Amino acid sequence: QKEVEQNSGPLSVPEGAIASLNCTYSDRGSQSFFWYRQYSGKSPELIMSIYSNGDKEDGRFTAQLNKASQYVSLLIRDSQPSDSATYLCAVIEGYGGSQGNLIFGKGTKLSVKP
């Protein structure tokens, strides 16, 4: 059973701080990794995708991937109260996993305090 694990939180950070969200995955063959944001009662919204080892930056967000450690992280700089949401890590199953068959973690709930 392929698994994606995340600390459920809640992770509480003050406004303006860096929030660090972590994810591990069990399928060593996975090649595609995503971070989604989900507000309570709403649908997942894609924030970042990452496919290669290292860092990928987009505005206040940085995704980090380490395939050897099977570890993905998301850093949110200058956190804002509007960033308060559940952050979902998602992985496409490797070695034959088809496009769109995302395996989601349970999510980490982030709370940014003003």
Partner 1 sequence: EPEVTQTPSHQVTQMGQEVILRCVPISNHLYFYWYRQILGQKVEFLVSFYNNEISEKSEIFDDQFSVERPDGSNFTLKIRSTKLEDSAMYFCASSDGTDEKLFFGSGTQLSVL
| Residues contributing to the site for partner 1 (CB under 8 A) | 32, 34, 42-46, 49, 88, 90, 92, 98-107
CB of 50 to partner 1, least distance (A): 11
CB of 64 to partner 1, least distance (A): 19
Question: How far is it, in rounded angstroms, from Cα 38 to Cα 26?
Answer: 23
Burial 72-86 (b: 16+ CB within 10 A, else e): bbbbbeebeeebbbb
Strand-pairing partners, residue 33, are: 50, 91
Closest CB to partner 1 among residues 19, 50:
50
CB of 17 to partner 1, least distance (A): 27
